[in-house]
A = this chain, B = another copy of it.
Amino acid sequence: MMARAIEWLDGKLRILDQSKVPREQVFADLDNYHDVVLAIKEMRVRGAPAIGVAAAYGIALGASGIREAGKDEFLVQLNQVMQAFAVSRPTAVNLFQAINRMRKAARGDGVAEIKRSLVDEAKRIHQEEVTATRQLSQLGAELIKNGFTLLTHCNAGPLATAGYGTALGVIKAVKEQGKRVSVFATETRPLLQGARLTTWELMQEDIPVTLITDSTAGYFMQQKKIDCVIVGADRIAANGDVANKIGTYTLAVLAKESEIPFYVAAPTSTIDLSLSSGDKIPIEERSPEEVTHVQGVPIAPEGIRAANPAFDVTPHSYVTAIITEKGIIREPYGKELLSIAKWS
């Protein structure tokens, strides 16, 4: 059984500190919203769906921590809590979808009732992600044939989703369907989520996995050793453009060059119809130290300048299909994403 990335336990948020996996499995019980904001910023909780779930619980925690306030004052302070989450990380839209849902759920006759309904809504968001990732994984698995070798980037498994996983969920479901499958996992510099987390999750599932550097993906595609690429997403614009971990665009270009399908697996909570295209998605620039150091060890000369955009945008024309819990969609993405949104 996989360690749970996020769990609501006795009014506290228990998280597995993903920055320490696989070296250590350290759980932290967070009892105030500041710690949840920090855990998101420092990527101890990471992965778009998991960030949304953690923020929802964090807002519930923040609400429960507001004391001796009348309803109006409570709502003012609750708004500040939500604001703290809204500026924690910019790219994954699941965060903003979760904040919006919590804002709408902040209703009730009195403060106590609102606090209760916020906890309920956070649990509902969590449960919905579990169900959605389970469903999209089963749908996506139909695309994968027996004997396929898949390439995945970064980590889109249970840790990233607080559920069944997206890209790795599909891979797990393929195995459950009795098909053989093997995986190439890119290490995913700078923070090595592929090397640390994807390998760890796949080894626990007994799915054969080979770790490669990010630069090696092209080599194995060129050698025809990879049957398809499958990744998660941090935000999908209305036209089907996909923001995901830096390096995803590169894999999509390489897949096109080798005529390999490029799949994106994401729950509908990752879709942002308010943005017409991917160039409007805010791309987080993280600390240069993530590039100049690996697990605290310097790898470059002191004083070197480094750039560290954490995401890139893959134009929809490179995407073979987007796998959601409501169906597998293909071009024209604009029309298809709109019709999925209408069902919600």
**Is the beta-carbon distance between A292 and B254 smaller than 8 angstroms?**
no
Any B CB within 8 A of the CB of A209: yes
Return the contact of A212 from the options B187, B217, B291, B299 (Cβ within 8 A). B291
Please, how many angstroms separate the alpha-carbon atoms of A303 and B220 in the complex? 22
Give the nearest-CB partner of A257 in chain B. B253
Which residues of B have CB within 8 Å of A211? 288, 291-292, 300, 304-307
Which residues of B have CB within 8 Å of A161? none
**Is the beta-carbon distance between A309 and B219 smaller than 8 angstroms?**
yes
Any B CB within 8 A of the CB of A22: yes
Interface string of A249-276 (1 = CB under 8 A from B): 1100110010000000000000000000
Interface residues of A (CB under 8 A from B): 22-23, 184, 186-190, 192, 195-196, 199-200, 203, 208-220, 222, 246-247, 249-250, 253-254, 257, 288, 291-292, 294-295, 297-301, 303-309, 312-313
Which residues of B have CB within 8 Å of A294? 294-295, 297, 299
| 13 pairs of residues in contact across A and B, judged by CB atoms under 8 Å | A187-B189, A187-B299, A199-B301, A211-B288, A211-B300, A211-B307, A212-B308, A213-B246, A213-B247, A213-B308, A214-B215, A216-B309, A294-B299
What's the minimum C-beta distance from A244 to chain B, rounded to whole angstroms? 11
**Is the beta-carbon distance between B306 and A210 smaller than 8 angstroms?**
yes
Known A253-B254, A295-B297, A295-B299; contact A215-B247, beta-carbon cutoff 8 A: yes
Return the contact of A218 from the options B188, B247, B301 (Cβ within 8 A). B247
Give the nearest-CB partner of A315 in chain B. B222
Which residues of B have CB within 8 Å of A22? 300-301
Which residues of B have CB within 8 Å of A304? 195, 199, 203, 209, 211
Give the nearest-CB partner of A298 in chain B. B23
Known A212-B291, A306-B211, A312-B222; contact A299-B217, beta-carbon cutoff 8 A: no
Known A291-B187, A300-B211; contact A249-B219, beta-carbon cutoff 8 A: yes
Which residues of B have CB within 8 Å of A218? 247, 249-250, 253, 312
**Is the beta-carbon distance between A189 and B209 smaller than 8 angstroms?**
no
Please, how many angstroms separate the alpha-carbon atoms of A199 and B200 in the complex? 33
Please, how many angstroms separate the alpha-carbon atoms of A301 and B24 in the complex? 10
Please, how many angstroms separate the alpha-carbon atoms of A292 and B211 in the complex? 8
